[in-house]
Structure 1
Amino acid sequence: MPLEPLQMAPATTALVPGQSVGRMALGASLHDVLTMIKEDRAQYRAVDLHYSQTDPLQAPVVVTLPENGIRLQFDGPDQRLRLIEITDFSKINLIYKGSELTKNHDQAISSRPAFKRIYQIFGASYPGEYIPSKARSPIGTYVLSWEGVAFNFPLQQSAWSPERDHVSLLGSHAASPASSLAVFEGASWAAVRDSLFVYIPSAPRQPTLTARARDHIPLPSEIDVANIASDGSVVLVRRSPAQPFQIVINETMLQDIITELGPADTTHKREERLSTPDAGTHRRRGSNFRPASTGRGSQPSSYSSTGTDTFDADFDSGDAEDEGSERTSREIFWCYFSHGFDILIGPPSVTTTSGACNGSASYLHSHLVVKKIILHGNVPGSYSFNRHRRLRWTIELPTQANRNTDRSAINSEAHFEQTVKPRLMSQFADSWPESDMARGKVVNRTWGAGPSDSSFFLPDAGGGGDGEDLIEGGGSEQWLGNTRLFSFPGFTFEVLENGAISALTVAK
């Protein structure tokens, strides 16, 4: 008689209302969560990613773990985890304060927690909200909340009455065990659902770093946004109580970067380019890898979500032919994946405003400064998706006399063709050739870069959004088209076909 395959018991997972389910913590960045998932393929064997093709930086990004019964929703602009949902209780064993929500996982219906069991664990609650079925079904949904957590109970439409208290109603045979639960930050689901994707989360973007804190390893201050001033300096606004840190191109020294931001996740010599014959391989002879500051090691950080090496491609801003080979060979990218940017470090120009550079070789090697900063957008569907976390930014354009134009800041979520490009062309019309600003260099990141073997993108129309606009994004530009590089004084934008800005380079 053949033996039946062994069924794996659902993983025991702690539920903390308003905070987390297991290692999935509210407020965490999309990059941090996906990196954690990729490193634990034994537990998370399948993952689906859903996003909007036309508006990937505004519509929510939904990550589904079908074999774990978990669905995660991130806001589009900041890519932070706003909602954790349990959609299948048979695939997860939830523990709250030492008590199991369900004890029998042999059958799907019995694995769902009954109201009586939930009431015994969570205690009394205020009345919830009844939602009638939209499909003329005899079964509606009763949503019952406690602070930071809510349960959906199927309820017979005929049994619903606003005069009947919810305890007797949900405890009757007219109600079925909970079909799903949601974890959120707030007093109740009714109070937070309208502001779910716009409030500022109280938790950090990198909850996986808490282990380092317990080991008394100093943590870098979290960066909320990069504000680019009219003089070209970049001000990194950091999570309170840390003060903002200003970076001035060609002046801020390497020692200042290390002091304020900590060591880089890895470093990369600039001499290796996208156009070299070896760019499509996984060898990086010009790279000098260091352990990632997250404690994960270098490989997860230097490989994209597609399993493809994107290291060299991310640094191709189209200006290699304008750089002297001797100086370029001394320049090194300091890569901060968890902050969302890369910093090019090298010898200062002899025209530095400080006047301290005397041009000697010894000075150049001992006084390295910031040459440029690449701010990454982590746009879903782009070639380098999930190598950096998303860092939002603003550009404050200098005011010019006799110009009756909008002077509000340009931000990282703006559509490039509709908003950013016209504003910049107007700003630099007197100092930069219009032909150079209007046309972008076409770059295809996927040619010669190896195959995509992502297991992330297997969505269905029910994953969120409007269905038709959700696509599978095979981790290359087959969905979003080739990227284009647009150059303006001090700025280079990498733009996707849908108008989303995937990277901004700030230089002089």
Structure 2
Amino acid sequence: MATAKFAVVFPGHSLGPFALGASLHEVITQVKEDKGQFPVINLHYSQAEPLTTPVIVSLPEDGLRLQFDGPDQRLRLIEVLDFSKTRLQLNSSDLVKMHEDSPSASGPGFKRVYSQMGPSYPGEYSPPKDRSRYGTYVLSWLGVAFNFPILHSEWSDKNDHVFLLGSHAALPATSMALFEGRNWPEVRRVLFVKRPVGPRSSVLANRPKDGLPAEIEHAHIPAEGSVELLRHGPAGIFTITLNETTIQDLITELGPPDATHKREERDATPDQNSHRRTGSTSRPMSNGRPHPGSQPSSYSSTGTDTFETDFDAGDTEEDASDRASRHRFWCYFSHGLDILVGPPEDTAAKTTEHSTRTPLGTSPHSVLLKVVIHGNVPGSYAFNRHRRLRWSISPSNDSSPSPTYLTSEHNFEHDIKPVLLSAHANSGAESEMGRGKVVNRSWGGDSSESSFYLPDAEEEENVEDAGGSSEQWLGNTKLYAFRGLTFEVLENGAVGALTVC
């Protein structure tokens, strides 16, 4: 029998590298980078409602299951479903005692758990199902719970749980769960809606006092040409005004980008080897990633060579004025943002009587021109390139005391598009606004009218075809352009990305 993998258990906080509150993007990135520890990764989500139902990451070779809420995509529940596949250490001692001559395939007995966790309040008993002889007793402590099978014929609510679980009527635990909260009966009602305590990033969790940029909790678009980034803790709101906010402001508030990429129009023909996608809602994911210096297999939909970066372009002899005038995307994968920076644009010609944008100033500095907010929708072509950043919009014609906000969880066709069409009813372009341009991301190409930038487009997961040969999980997307806003919408109505321009 292979040696079990090792993980330390911290009730209410973490198991091994997985911390409660972590983002789906970070967790999947972690497991993909450690192929030896996590050879198989299965992702489960709802095709119809990927943003309102839980997203589940299963690690069958490790006996683990991780559950994330749909709207914010943060880790809410860590489950151990097979104690034989991961050696768990709790309070500096093995949770399950394994003998060299006879490795245990079962979970910890009640007495073993009791010796490490101490006294507990009574739990909950569920009668057996499907003619099983055993019911299930769920017993919890602060931040952790165990499922113990109990012979139904021996069950009696007149006996205390310590007596029953310590008797011959009970079997070792079959599973364990970690969560944020005092006990399982209290937590399960608010598991996916209560605000997590832990941060999205393990870097912030392990180095909270290093002066790292605060997490962005939410993006609000109050008016055309501006974005308010609401941040965690005392950092407050960082307001981006397009064509005015400088890159110096950006670095001060959000730190340097994770990567930068040129934005250039090219006539290159994309490679014909498009990536395969499966329509299955339960899919294995490969851990392999190509060498970062490899050539891209296709260009992004913006016509951008996704691998010519500041870090490896090797163009130090380039004319300084040309270099300064080039537009670049600054990619903040952990914030869920891509930001186009470049010289200030002359917006005077674009200003209309309805616009709130200011004309071109005289600043010689590069400024922020577009902000792309990523939805990280499971099943989308751009899934797991960025973490999910939630957003809200104040419709321009809603001046009521209690305005209705459009949010990143709203269905575009049913909720968002009707409101925006109403808000722009007098613009003269209502018919064009309601029509979406169809985009097939897997073909790459020169769809230069798109605002959306997909860095590392060739670093796709090698997906085993589980139920057909459809190129994309949820089909092609459509681009809907309104004044100052462009939406990329999946076939199920979920917004994959929003550009403020």
How high is the TM-score relative to the length of structure 2? Answer: 0.82
CA contact under 8 A between 1:47 and 1:455: conserved in structure 2? no
CA distance in 2, matches of 1:267, 1:90: 44
CA contact under 8 A between 2:343 and 2:366: conserved in structure 1? yes
332, 357, 360: which one aligns with 2:361: 357
Structure 1 residue 100 corresponds to structure 2 residue 94? yes
Structure 1 residue 197 corresponds to structure 2 residue 192? yes
CA contact under 8 A between 1:48 and 1:456: conserved in structure 2? no
Q: How does 1:140-289 map to 2 (within 5 A)?
A: 140-210=135-205, 213=207, 217-272=210-265, 276-278=268-270
Q: Which residue of 2 aligns with 1:393?
A: 391
Q: Which residue of 1 aligns with 2:329?
A: 333
Q: Secondary structure at the match of 2:169?
A: coil
- 2:84 counterpart letter in structure 1: S
Structure 1 residue 443 corresponds to structure 2 residue 439? yes
Q: Which residue of 1 aligns with 2:3?
A: 9
Note closer, same or farther for the CA distance 1:95–1:400 as it changes in structure 2 (3 Å cut).
closer
- 1:493 counterpart letter in structure 2: F
CA distance in 2, matches of 1:504, 1:406: 24
Q: Which residue of 1 aligns with 2:314?
A: none
Q: Which residue of 2 aligns with 1:379?
A: 377
Superposition deviation, residue 60 in structure 1: 0.3
Q: Which residue of 1 aligns with 2:57?
A: 63
- 2:268 counterpart letter in structure 1: T
Q: Which residue of 1 aligns with 2:423?
A: 427
Q: Which residue of 2 aligns with 1:48?
A: 42
Q: Which residue of 2 aligns with 1:286?
A: none
Q: Secondary structure at the match of 1:194?
A: coil
Q: Which residue of 2 aligns with 1:285?
A: none
Q: How does 1:438-477 map to 2 (within 5 A)?
A: 438-447=434-443, 454=461
Q: Which residue of 2 aligns with 1:313?
A: 300
Q: Secondary structure at the match of 1:137?
A: coil
Note closer, same or farther for the CA distance 1:112–1:195 as it changes in structure 2 (3 Å cut).
same
Superposition deviation, residue 442 in structure 1: 0.6
CA distance in 2, matches of 1:313, 1:250: 24
CA distance in 2, matches of 1:310, 1:183: 41
Superposition deviation, residue 316 in structure 1: 6.6
Post-superposition Cα deviations, 1:195-214, rounded to whole Å, max 9, x if no partner, equal: 00000001100014555x38
Post-superposition Cα deviations, 1:125-183, rounded to whole Å, max 9, x if no partner, equal: 11110011232322110000000000000111111111111111011111110000000
- 1:113 counterpart letter in structure 2: P
Note closer, same or farther for the CA distance 1:74–1:172 as it changes in structure 2 (3 Å cut).
same
Superposition deviation, residue 11 in structure 1: 1.6
CA distance in 2, matches of 1:102, 1:368: 59
CA distance in 1, matches of 2:272, 2:479: 21
CA contact under 8 A between 1:73 and 1:82: conserved in structure 2? yes
Structure 1 residue 347 corresponds to structure 2 residue 354? no
Q: How many residues align?
A: 450
> Could you tell which deviates more after superposition, 391-400 or 440-449?
440-449
CA contact under 8 A between 1:17 and 1:148: conserved in structure 2? yes
Q: Secondary structure at the match of 1:90?
A: coil
Superposition deviation, residue 351 in structure 1: 4.1
CA contact under 8 A between 2:290 and 2:459: conserved in structure 1? no
70, 78, 89: which one aligns with 2:83: 89
Which blocks of at least 5 consecutive residues in structure 2 are unaligned?
A: 275-288, 305-321, 349-356, 446-456
Q: Root-mean-square deviation (CA), in Å? A: 3.2
- 1:49 counterpart letter in structure 2: L
Q: Which residue of 2 aligns with 1:369?
A: 367
404, 411, 429: which one aligns with 1:408: 404
- 1:388 counterpart letter in structure 2: H
CA distance in 2, matches of 1:219, 1:55: 34
Note closer, same or farther for the CA distance 1:315–1:224 as it changes in structure 2 (3 Å cut).
farther
CA contact under 8 A between 1:493 and 1:503: conserved in structure 2? yes
- Give the share of equivalent positions with the same residue, in percent: 53
Q: Secondary structure at the match of 2:236?
A: coil
Superposition deviation, residue 350 in structure 1: 3.0
- 1:454 counterpart letter in structure 2: E
CA contact under 8 A between 1:485 and 1:495: conserved in structure 2? yes
Note closer, same or farther for the CA distance 1:316–1:178 as it changes in structure 2 (3 Å cut).
farther
Greater helix fraction, Structure 1 or Structure 2? 1
Q: Which residue of 2 aligns with 1:321?
A: none
CA contact under 8 A between 2:412 and 2:494: conserved in structure 1? yes
Superposition deviation, residue 503 in structure 1: 0.3
CA contact under 8 A between 1:226 and 1:236: conserved in structure 2? yes
Post-superposition Cα deviations, 1:4-46, rounded to whole Å, max 9, x if no partner, equal: xxx4311221000000000100000000000011111111100
Structure 1 residue 79 corresponds to structure 2 residue 69? no
CA contact under 8 A between 2:148 and 2:172: conserved in structure 1? yes
CA contact under 8 A between 1:132 and 1:141: conserved in structure 2? yes
How high is the TM-score relative to the length of structure 1? Answer: 0.81
Structure 1 residue 128 corresponds to structure 2 residue 97? no
Post-superposition Cα deviations, 1:38-58, rounded to whole Å, max 9, x if no partner, equal: 111111100100000000001
Q: Which residue of 2 aligns with 1:139?
A: 134
Post-superposition Cα deviations, 1:431-483, rounded to whole Å, max 9, x if no partner, equal: 14122111111100112589897367799xxxxxxxxxxxx899x86231100
Note closer, same or farther for the CA distance 1:388–1:58 as it changes in structure 2 (3 Å cut).
same
Note closer, same or farther for the CA distance 1:48–1:240 as it changes in structure 2 (3 Å cut).
same
Q: Secondary structure at the match of 2:199?
A: coil
CA distance in 2, matches of 1:435, 1:354: 27
CA distance in 2, matches of 1:260, 1:334: 14
